[in-house]
Amino acid sequence: MLALVVDDSRAMRMILGRVLAHLGYETVQAENGQQALEVLTAGPLPDVALVDWNMPVMDGLEFVTAVRANPDWRAITLMMVTTESEQSQIVRALAAGAHEYVIKPFTPEAIAEKLELLGVLPAGVSR
């Protein structure tokens, strides 16, 4: 399975990349929502995208909205991974089309649990 990690921090992309690699994913990365849209356009499409909220150029909410507006990208599972923890923001993200929401700081177990709930853990992975 392929996961897209969208975060303006390279360190956080690497941390999430390590978690996802441990779970059996291949990963691609983008520094912001605009770059992530370019990754989707270039293909191949990821099975799941882990998306930060606060990013320069295009933020995570704008990215989620853009992905959901494109029928070709409907199959991509979207999970916000962000420091934004206000209830109103969680509601906004889910209303925009995010499937799940993880608040930083997270544990690897929390990421795995959410991915399992979403049914996008690679086959044969035990967490």
Partner 1 sequence: MSVGLAPLGPVGQDQLASIVDAVWTCALAAAEPPVPGTVPVAPGPWWRAEVGITGVWDGRVALECTQAAAVTAASYMLARSPEFVDEVDVRDALGELANVVGGGVKSLLPERNQLSLPTVHPLAEASGPGPAAGCRLALTWHGEPFVVTVAQADVEGT
Q: What residues make contact with partner 1 under the rule CB under 8 A?
A: 8-12, 14-15, 18, 54-56, 82-88, 103-108
* Residue with Cβ nearer partner 1 (22 or 72): 22
Q: Report the alpha-carbon distance of residue 86 to residue 117 in Å, rounded.
A: 22
Contacts of 42 (CB under 8 A, 6+ apart): none
Query: Would you tell me how many other CB atoms lie within 10 Å of the CB of residue 63?
Result: 28
* Residue with Cβ nearer partner 1 (26 or 106): 106
Tokens for 98, please give them. Answer: 């995010």
Contacts of 84 (CB under 8 A, 6+ apart): 53, 54, 90, 103
Within 3-118, where are the H helices?
10-22, 33-42, 60-68, 87-96, 108-118
* Residue with Cβ nearer partner 1 (86 or 126): 86
* Residue with Cβ nearer partner 1 (5 or 76): 5
The type of residue at 93 is A
Q: In angstroms, what is the minimal distance from the CB of 40 to partner 1?
A: 23
